[in-house]
Amino acid sequence: MAKIREFGESANLITLARIVLTPLFVWWFTSADWRLKVLGFVVFVAAAITDWWDGHHARKHKTVSNLGKFLDPLADKLLTIAAMLTLAYEHLVQLWMILVIFARDFWLTWLRVRAANAGKAFVTSQLAKFKTAVQMTAIITIIGLWCIYSIASTYQVWPEIVPEYWLVALFNVMIAATMLLALVSGFQYLRRSTA
């Protein structure tokens, strides 16, 4: 009964909503119809907002649960991975940079699990938090600009002013900045783990 009550807590339901919204974003954003792309953008932003909302709600109402501690980072990873792979699938960013970021994140997750098993605290660095903020900002900006470009292309407004390859170059610069932050913060964790 306690497990059922824990599952039904509103903060956990918000987290589950983020998991459900993730495939909807992928489906709609990869559509050729600009209306569905925009809908995908709205869904992604809504899902990103729930990332802050569920944690805030759980702390405010003192309903932090073990299930929530498991589901929240899982939902975060699913949303971020799905979004970045979708951008690569749409040829908006280079896949290899995405894979470098993923490799760093998975390695960091392994370090976190190892620290937990050893009973040690794993403190997230300020640079890592900044990297996460830059990454989410980059994803939202790329998705939003591509929606605008898709609308402009449909009505033949923007493409003559801003070529697609300029836009894609900008997207790759943004992801490259995220990748560099991921590598530098990852190196910090490596030094800490070997100290």
- What is the 3-class SS of 76-95, one letter each residue? HHHHHHHHHHHHHHCCCCCH
Looking at residue 56, its pLDDT comes to: 55
- Read off the pLDDT band of 1 (50, 70, 90): very low
Q: Note the pLDDT tens digit of each residue in 150-180.
A: 998 888 776 567 788 999 999 999 999 999 9
- Are 88 and 95 within 8 A, CB to CB? yes
Looking at residue 2, its pLDDT comes to: 42
| Reported pTM | 0.85
Residue type, 66: N
Mean pLDDT value across the chain: 84
DSSP character for 64? -
| CB count in 10 Å sphere of residue 126 | 10
Cα(133)–Cα(139) distance, rounded to whole angstroms? Answer: 10
Looking at residue 31, its pLDDT comes to: 96
Cα(125)–Cα(90) distance, rounded to whole angstroms? Answer: 32
Q: Note the pLDDT tens digit of each residue in 95-137.
A: 999 999 999 988 888 887 787 777 776 677 888 889 989 999 9
**Helix H or strand E encompassing 157:** none
Tokens 């940079």 locate to 97
* Highest mean pLDDT pick, 4-13, 77-86, 119-128: 77-86
Q: Note the pLDDT tens digit of each residue in 174-191.
A: 999 999 999 999 888 888
Cα(48)–Cα(43) distance, rounded to whole angstroms? Answer: 9
Cα(31)–Cα(171) distance, rounded to whole angstroms? Answer: 19
Tokens 């792309």 locate to 37
Residue 61 has pLDDT above 60, yes or no: no
Residue 64 has pLDDT above 50, yes or no: yes
Cα(134)–Cα(148) distance, rounded to whole angstroms? Answer: 21
Ranges of each domain in the chain:
1-90, 92-195
Residue 5 has pLDDT above 70, yes or no: no
Least-confidence region, from 3-7, 24-28, 91-95:
3-7
Residue 193: Cβ-neighbour burial (10 angstroms; 0-12, 13-18, 19+) = exposed
What do you get for the CA distance between the two ends of the chain, in Å? 45
Helices (H) and strands (E) in the chain, counts: 7, 0
Residue 119, phi then psi, degrees to nearest 5: 75, 25
In percent, the amount of the chain with pLDDT more than 70 equals 79
Mean pLDDT of 7-23: 77
